[in-house]
Structure 1
Amino acid sequence: MSDPVAGSTGTAASGGAPLLGAADLKVTFAGRRGSPEARAVDGVHLDIAPGEIVALVGESGCGKTTLARALLGLEKPTTGQVSFDGAPLAYDSRALKAYRNRVQLVLQDPSGSLNPRHTVYEAVAEGLRIHGYTGDERAKVAEALSRAGLRPPERFFLRYPHELSGGQRQRVVIAGALVLDPELIVADEPVASLDASVRGEILALLLSLREELGLSALVVTHDLGLAWNIADRVAVMYLGRVVETGTVEEVLTSPQHPYTQALLSVLPEAQGEPVVLTGEPPDPTRIPPGCRFHARCQVLASGEAERTGVAQSCRTKELPVLSAAGTAQVACHWAAAKAGASG
């Protein structure tokens, strides 16, 4: 892995109030025809400071996209609260419209995000028109395209999505978010659909936007390698909860949770044998007792948890919800026992 971004601006480090925060957030969905409800997000505390990039990491089905939608106001929490700039998020249409002027979404598939019948100019100007912008629309669109790395911007005004490369389409999507001058963007797998040669360019763009505009970002990804290259802090999700969090250096160079260790083990640059997780993937309708990961845990399966004296707790004793503090935290009986023994 290459060097991570320097100069973390996390809440704990800066001492400032978070820009975006989630407090004990839960999102459940009713089951079909009497089946159990799905606890997609089941108690999450998460803060993002001004100018900070946080990576939300986990495999498919862990709840990270539902959490992102709740933070965007696209999904109303069952319980808990989302706050922005110190104020609780309201869910009437006027308040949400104002909120989405300050927080924008960047999706993973630029082809699906862009209307094939709309020119680049129309795609980027759409947000301005929705929000009733009364200034110089052409200048604003040109500025957004230029910031997204499409220069000279006028050369792209009349092009259609099919005339652009994948990287250029993603830059158009980013320009569509930037045109409203947001304070925070939520990027859901922002480079997953791009060729490897283009991914670095888009990540470098996101970092430059943070430097130039003070932009905050939540980057939703299954790729810990991406997190290493872009994030200040990492939150690892499993089955609706954050199971490990801390600075990118703390989590990715010294992972404490067996799930994080398994995710890291399959990276090309990882040392040792990759950990192959057995058992069923996360199912939010069937949350097991004890540690949510215990049925797939390589530490429990190997007998190491038994030797440490925590195997029974792993299977039966539920772990507390991690706080939103910027310090390194882990929800794992085995990791806690190890820390206690070494302390």
Structure 2
Amino acid sequence: MPAAPLLSAAGLNVTFPGRRGAPPARAVDGVDLDIGPGEIVALVGESGCGKTTLARTLLGLVPPTGGGVSFAGEPLGYASRTLKAYRKRVQLVLQDPSGSLNPRHTVYDAVAEGLRIHGYRGDEREAVAEALSRAGLRPPERFFLRYPHELSGGQRQRVVIAGALVLKPELIVADEPVASLDASVRGEILALLLSLRDELGLSALVVTHDLGLAWNIADRVAVMYLGRIVETGPVEDVLTNPQHPYTQALLSVLPESDGPPVILTGEPPDPSRIPTGCRFHARCQVLASGEAERAGVAERCRSEALPVLMGGASTQVACHWVGAG
């Protein structure tokens, strides 16, 4: 039997009021997603697809307008005391270490901040040293009195990770954790996240636009488009045999891709004006090429909505054309 999910979203919706009389924006529009103990899930998609809003909702930073989040089998409550306890168990790692570190705080104070917020009663110095060491900053005491501007980009990101680890969370949400780093440092940070999973049993949701990163770090991938997950499954299955035309297009532009790149036309639609039918149909290369017409599903692509994918580990795809094959 598979282990019960550590974090689970069911029927999750997040809607923001429209500006100047515009319809509400459905940033997250029906998402089921599970993250198991010790599992790394990559949430992948273009900018504006809703993945950061989904991550913030899973963290309790944005309350859902529909559906709910549960952690360790318990529904997430939004009372301040409940959220404070939850955020000790689920920590955020942001993409820009320079922006998330106070330039006037030493490394020691940056890492100790979470302990102080949560009223830690143990040996603070020992806890900070252990977190820095786990994040790869050794010997940790050498970094205590340094300031962010005295560190390299990779070292700053390790300090941010140490600040999350110091509370001994069960899950971290990493939003584009290596996007601002040099290519030479990215591999080190990804290797660190993998080692933390192996050593601590830590679960992670990694939010990224980079399918290459997903391939290197994730056990499972969820591809998001316009507020919905459109394909999900074990990373090897999805990235070696992508089914959804959107996933195929994202993979086609990677340097190691075999065929010609698929150039998607236009921008993702406005989330306040989600199209009927498959929400990808206006940009879909399969529909544009006539393949969907030949398969007899073109009209369904334009008019028939697809169901929300289940949140579990099985490979699933939301596409009329794939279903007709």
Structure 2 length-normalised TM: 0.99
| 2:259 alignment partner, SS class | coil
Structure 2 stretches lacking a partner, 5+ long: none
Tell me the residue number matched to 1:146. 133
Equivalent position to 2:35, from 48, 58, 71: 48
- State whether structure 2 residue 45 is matched by structure 1 residue 58: yes
Equivalent position to 1:227, from 183, 208, 214: 214
Offset of 1:285 from its aligned partner? 1.0
Offset of 1:326 from its aligned partner? 1.0
Aligned partner letter, 1:161: P
Taking the TM superposition and a 5 Å limit, the aligned residue runs for 1:157-306 are: 157-306=144-293
- State whether structure 2 residue 91 is matched by structure 1 residue 104: yes
Counterpart CA distance in 2 for 1:58 and 1:32 is 25
Offset of 1:325 from its aligned partner? 2.2
Aligned partner letter, 2:57: A
Aligned partner letter, 1:291: C
Offset of 1:286 from its aligned partner? 1.3
Offset of 1:324 from its aligned partner? 1.1
Tell me the residue number matched to 1:331. 318
- State whether structure 2 residue 66 is matched by structure 1 residue 79: yes
Aligned partner letter, 1:44: V
Are the equivalent residues in 2 in contact too, given 1:119–1:160 (CA < 8 A)?
yes
Are the equivalent residues in 2 in contact too, given 1:107–1:190 (CA < 8 A)?
yes
| 2:15 alignment partner, SS class | strand
Aligned partner letter, 2:281: H
Counterpart CA distance in 1 for 2:177 and 2:298 is 39
| 1:105 alignment partner, SS class | strand
| 2:309 alignment partner, SS class | coil
1:173-210 CA distances to partner (integer Å, 9 max, x unpaired)? 00000000000000000000000000000000000000
Are the equivalent residues in 2 in contact too, given 1:62–1:282 (CA < 8 A)?
no
Counterpart CA distance in 2 for 1:97 and 1:283 is 34
Offset of 1:281 from its aligned partner? 2.1
Are the equivalent residues in 1 in contact too, given 2:44–2:210 (CA < 8 A)?
yes
1:260-286 CA distances to partner (integer Å, 9 max, x unpaired)? 000000001001110000023242111
1:107-158 CA distances to partner (integer Å, 9 max, x unpaired)? 0000000000000000000000000001100000000000000000000000
Offset of 1:106 from its aligned partner? 0.1
Are the equivalent residues in 2 in contact too, given 1:238–1:282 (CA < 8 A)?
no
Counterpart CA distance in 2 for 1:47 and 1:143 is 30
Aligned partner letter, 1:142: A
| 1:169 alignment partner, SS class | helix
Counterpart CA distance in 2 for 1:126 and 1:90 is 24
Structure 1 stretches lacking a partner, 5+ long: 1-13, 339-343
Are the equivalent residues in 1 in contact too, given 2:68–2:76 (CA < 8 A)?
yes
Tell me the residue number matched to 1:130. 117
